Amino acid sequence: MVQAGIDIEIETTSIAPTDLSLTATLLRVAPALTTHWLAGIEEVALAWPAGTFAARLAWDDLPAVTLPDVPLPEDIRRSHPQRIWQYLAGRLCAEQALHLAGLPGLHRTGLQGLVGRAPGGAPIWPAGWCGSISHTAGRAVALAAPCTAVQALGVDVETLLDVTALPAVIRACLTPHERAALPADATQVCRTTTLIFAAKEAYFKAVHANVGRFIDFPEVEVRDIDWGIGCCRLAPVAMTRPAGDVALPAALPVLEGRFCLDYPRLSAWVAVW
């Protein structure tokens, strides 16, 4: 875990983009910081879906060091330092998840297995592999698996909503059925609404490549939530299309989801078989 106020002296060097992974690049330009972060990554073999591995990194505060000078997408480079740190943490987790899943030639030193980035921001995984990345304040998580195990993955990690944010999220993200099923207790409403939001975000990531279009929150419903074993089901909702809209969108699948509450955060993940 990256502790608050950590003070690491690093020397950065300007380098050109290479075919090395981000892990290897960071080890070259910021070895102390990168070694510290790698030591803090938790590695997990998920019980579901089989063949999928997770890596996550938690930190209490932003490292008190200068941002390492590494090649970054232009929109990320122009971002707030917190967004840049989250991006770096997510990519480190992605490469370590690939290492766990058995990508040939990828070791802790990150000599191969670059995770690319599409123009829209989605990760580009090595051929024959799939995965998903998510990050929020103080936490990054990534899943990876060979495509022989699953077709696609989606993960989302969120900080639990507080009561001030609830009304807007409920209006924008929950279907009438989901709103009617919310518990009466305010704490449980925050927890359930966060789960619904995170599960839908994970669903969108998992199906986007096959659907090829924007999916709105009311198009999918989270059902059969079981807090005891941490599972739920996500199913499309019949939508009335606007007059004159004759485009037939790709059918949305019914998928199973898993989730884990790690207060004050909640993670949800979905797999496409």
Please state the domain extents for the chain: 22-150, 159-272
On average, the pLDDT of the chain sits at 84
| Tokens representing residue 111 in the block | 């000599």
Whether 159 has a pLDDT exceeding 70, the answer reads yes
Q: What pLDDT is attached to residue 113?
A: 47
What is the model's pLDDT at position 8?
25
Report the pLDDT value the prediction gives residue 175, as an integer from 0 to 100: 97
Examine the pLDDT at 238 and tell me if it is beyond 90: no
Task: Kindly indicate the confidence band of residue 241, based on its pLDDT and cuts at 50, 70 and 90.
Answer: low
Same CATH topology for 22-150 and 159-272: the answer is yes
pLDDT tens, residue by residue, 169-218: 999 999 999 999 999 999 999 999 999 999 999 999 999 989 988 899 99
**Confidence class of residue 29 from pLDDT cuts 50, 70 and 90?**
confident
More confident residue, 148 or 70: 148
Asked: is 22-150 a CATH 2.60.40 domain? The reply is no
Rg (CA), the chain: 19
**Which pLDDT band holds residue 28 (cuts at 50, 70, 90)?**
confident
The domain made up of 159-272 is a member of CATH 3.30.1490: no
Query: For 63-96, how does the pLDDT look when each residue is reduced to its tens digit (9 = 90+)?
Result: 666 777 787 888 988 898 888 889 999 999 999 9
